[in-house]
Structure 1
Amino acid sequence: MNQSHPRAGSDKKQRRWFHEFPDPMVLIFMVLVGVYLLTFIIPAGEFAREVIDGKSRVIPDTFAYLTGVEPLPFFDLFLAIPQGMINAAPFLFIVFIAGGLFHVLQSTGALENMIGVAANKVGASNSTKSRNLIIVLGTFIYGFFGVAVGGENNIALVPLGVLVAAAVGCSRLVGVTMAVGGIGIGFALSPISPYTVGIAQSIGELPLFSGWGLRLLMVLGSLSMLAAYICLRVVKMEFHDEQPVEMSKALHEYRLSRQDLTILGIFLIGLISLLTGIFTRGWYITEISAVFLIMAIVIGLAAGMSANQLVKRMMEGASSVTSGALVIGLAASIPVILQDARVIDTIVKSLSSVLEGMPVALAAVLTSIIQGIINLFIPSGSAQALITMPILIPLADLIGMSRQLMVSAFQIGDGLTNLFIPTAGGILAMLALGRVSYAQWLPVIVPIMVPIYAFCWVLMVIAAHLGY
């Protein structure tokens, strides 16, 4: 009898190793080790660069392998982790501050009251049809913000999706998929994104945001598939939630007080200020974090909190997203290894050379796949455009592909992969704020990405044959 216990424990450990998805930190560290080992195989190389309008661009046909570059010491594998966290500091801080802001906001009860009143008015508790209507509308609203505002700029809206899901009787996973998936797809396929389309078209000497029709069709079709997937599949998924969000009372009991309206007004003014700063003053993560901090303080004062109570709420909210923030920092160590080994340009050159001599339609599809691979190493869409488009635009001319189609292929490859790669800091930040781990997210988002990719590829092939 005594001998059977160790064997049973051993079997349990084996089952856990083979059948449980690794913790996000374990998964990303495995990727980091794999990337480190690749630096011993991939030779160092660089393109020459030029600075135009303050931005560094690659000069095509200037790639050269580098000699005398020593392999990275084993110690550098671990040195890259704190360096990655330093590089990702803006993302880490916005997660902590946004976590604090929403804990303050939720503790006032204003958000829950607003969502409860809204859900009651549309009869969300009465039928599956009403629930699905809210999910579809929510997905498209989040998609609109992704199209118009961008990715990370919408991080403040993710917890709202969780509350909406709770109001219609769904898990946190439904709300996060609606919010993060909608924002991610909207940004990925946006016809008017200045961060990706704008830069890529300027390099390709195309009119700004021209060719928007194809991208609009892609984003509308993809959001429709995501909404249907959430309604038909995600709502039925089991989700282990350590901190489940539940409505505190029946929907018909919710009311909005004058204080609730004041707090929601402050929150709305804060969001409008953010959008104004983003579009007129070029604000990004650091400025957004500062506005979040101001919003938290003003909302706390409006709710009658003392200074000590406000700080306590902020600390509680920040501590609840610590694990997610650390995942972002660890993921940011992957590009550090590649930059230190000086192999990023070699990867870009090798992947882009695969396209030469291919039919235009196939080359367009493969370009999106190649850009997706590159996005793992260069997760910034604007940086990726500046590095790869000076190579891909001349290549498009060489193989007879229109520059417009090349820009769309770049956008698909860069944008859609952000929804599931471990180096996309903005998406990881949103997941951290929604309190869904990367390991929980992957099995949910990957299945719907397959038909979305297929849909976009079919549209690109049709566009290639129509001379887009």
Structure 2
Amino acid sequence: MKRERKFKFSMPHAYVIMMTMVLISAILTWVLPAGQFDRAVDPALGRELVVAGSYHAVDANPIGPWAFCMSIFQGFVNAADIIFFLLFACGYVTLLMSTGTLNALVGSILRKIKDKDYFLIPIFFTLFALGGTTFGMNEEAWGLIPAFVAIAITLGYDRIVGASIVILGTGVGFAAAVLNPFTVGLGSSIAGIPSVGGKITTFRIVAFVCFVTVTIIYIMHYAKKIKKDPTKSYLYGVPEPTVTASRDEVMQMPFTGRQKLTLVGFGIIIMTIAVGVAKFGFYLQQLAAVFFIGMVITGLINKMGPSKIADSFVESSKSMVFTVLMIGFARSIEVVMSSGNIIDTAVLYLSNIVKGFPSGLSAFAMLLAQNLINFFVPSGTGQAVVTVPIMAPLADVVGLSREIAVIAYQFGDGFSKMFWPTGCAMMCGVMGIGMNKWYKFIWKLFLMWIAMEVILIMGAVMVGI
């Protein structure tokens, strides 16, 4: 009797998935017509904005095999800033963890809160969310992910829990922002409306609280489930980073004077990031310098010689190879679509869809369009300068306020960034999590976000925002 062969699906390697996405983007340059909007510098903002109604056809530039291969390299070049920022940030965090300071801190906290360690999730999540909602902290915090992954695994959770505290904390705060200058501030300025005001600010605070609460509950539910039964983890069977001590061992660790001094340095770095970003416009280059200085000083505090600090930096860089390659591939998608002149075409088509909806559903259509546009323009500021000059006047035409147009842009940019592969591929690379594992975790939460976006924006229309 002939034995039947059962087909077993095997998830492709993460790099294969990303190369496929780049290939699909290249194919789209052969399908979508090439076109661009005119752009002009706004003197008040000092930024180049799209001129509404100026779309025109341009020479097609379909991406062939040779250009496709070159776009991979160009993607890595374009991603150099965040790649090297992460190398320096991870270098600092790796050296910090090697001193045992974080384990000693966690042990000290656990001795006080005992079996209530799950409260650490909402506390740290809220802190990161506040950074995102006020001064726009997002990628700047990614360098701290290894530290929170180590803490989460020590407490009996998994990498997803630790990484989500940082990634989703800053991401939700950034997306449901109250004062974020990179979305609320820029979007409102382009639309010609105040960024703060009675109704709109109240709405944003309510939205922030709703999104943060739902996301915290979702993470805590997952965390409790996998702590009770580790086989429920989406990473079950996947090797996790080596943990230097178990939960019980950590609780027995003394908190030495040297470690306390190291922790003070860690706190100073966090404050420097917050103040630097909020007050002095620090971004990746300046923050990389902060982490480099922190790495050297932390090494000296713990009596490490220059060679030992250098060895630690090299080892941490080795562990980041998968991450930085994922980031480079993700940027290649943007390179292909930009070189093929199809990004503005996609924006035009999606804005035309909004016009075709009945007036009562225009806000929903605008929200849907912004979520889809984020696939093509994963940058928050990039999406603002391309879409808000089009969507704000369009809101006037369909009978909506310009505030609604900015809310749609804000939600569409922020939340879908944590789901579309053009955005989450970089996050998965930083977290060291396969995209298939991340999607298993995030898809239900993303649907909850979408439902909340629709309810909130329709509510905003009903109350006259």
For normalisation by structure 1, the TM-score amounts to: 0.91
Name 1:243's counterpart in structure 2.
241
Could you tell me which runs of 5 or more consecutive residues in structure 2 were left unpaired when the two chains were aligned: 227-231
Aligned pairs for 1:233-382 within 5 A: 233-234=222-223, 235-236=225-226, 237-238=232-233, 239=235, 240-245=238-243, 247-248=245-246, 249-382=248-381
Q: Distance in 1 between matches of 2:159 and 2:60?
A: 48
Distance 1:454 1:305, change over 3 A: same
Aligned pairs for 1:49-448 within 5 A: 49-53=39-43, 54-66=46-58, 68-123=59-114, 126=115, 130-149=116-135, 150-210=137-197, 211-234=200-223, 235-236=225-226, 237-238=232-233, 239=235, 240-245=238-243, 247-248=245-246, 249-424=248-423, 431-448=428-445
Deviations 1:162-181 (A, max 9, x none): 23323432122211122211
Q: Is the 8 A contact 2:132 2:174 kept in 1?
A: yes
Deviations 1:236-285 (A, max 9, x none): 23222342436345343132111011111112112222222212221111
Shift of 1:158: 2.2
Q: Is the 8 A contact 1:392 1:406 kept in 2?
A: yes
Identity %: 28
* Root mean square deviation of aligned Cα: 2.0
Q: Is the 8 A contact 1:72 1:341 kept in 2?
A: yes
Deviations 1:367-424 (A, max 9, x none): 2222122212211101110111110011000000111111101111000011122222
Q: Is the 8 A contact 2:145 2:163 kept in 1?
A: yes
Deviations 1:12-49 (A, max 9, x none): xx41xx2x433221111111111111111101111111
Q: Is the 8 A contact 1:324 1:432 kept in 2?
A: yes
Q: Distance in 1 between matches of 2:404 and 2:85?
A: 35
Which amino acid letter does the alignment assign opposite residue 159 of structure 1? P
Q: Distance in 1 between matches of 2:47 and 2:184?
A: 16
Shift of 1:214: 1.8
Q: Distance in 2 between matches of 1:334 and 1:433?
A: 18
Q: Distance in 2 between matches of 1:417 and 1:56?
A: 24
Which amino acid letter does the alignment assign opposite residue 413 of structure 1? G
> SS of 1:420's equivalent?
coil
For normalisation by structure 2, the TM-score amounts to: 0.92
Q: Distance in 2 between matches of 1:430 and 1:261?
A: 31
Shift of 1:429: 5.1
Q: Is the 8 A contact 2:86 2:143 kept in 1?
A: no
Deviations 1:116-149 (A, max 9, x none): 21122111xx3xxx24322222322222222234
Bigger shift: 35-44 or 371-380? Answer: 371-380
Q: Is the 8 A contact 1:324 1:437 kept in 2?
A: no
Q: Distance in 2 between matches of 1:288 and 1:62?
A: 38
Q: Is the 8 A contact 2:61 2:339 kept in 1?
A: no
Which amino acid letter does the alignment assign opposite residue 335 of structure 2? V
Q: Distance in 2 between matches of 1:71 and 1:448?
A: 37
> SS of 1:304's equivalent?
coil
Q: Is the 8 A contact 1:98 1:292 kept in 2?
A: yes
Distance 1:277 1:139, change over 3 A: closer
Q: Distance in 2 between matches of 1:183 and 1:456?
A: 18
Q: Is the 8 A contact 1:361 1:465 kept in 2?
A: no
> SS of 2:275's equivalent?
helix
Aligned length: 450
Deviations 1:290-332 (A, max 9, x none): 1111111111111111111101111111111110110000010
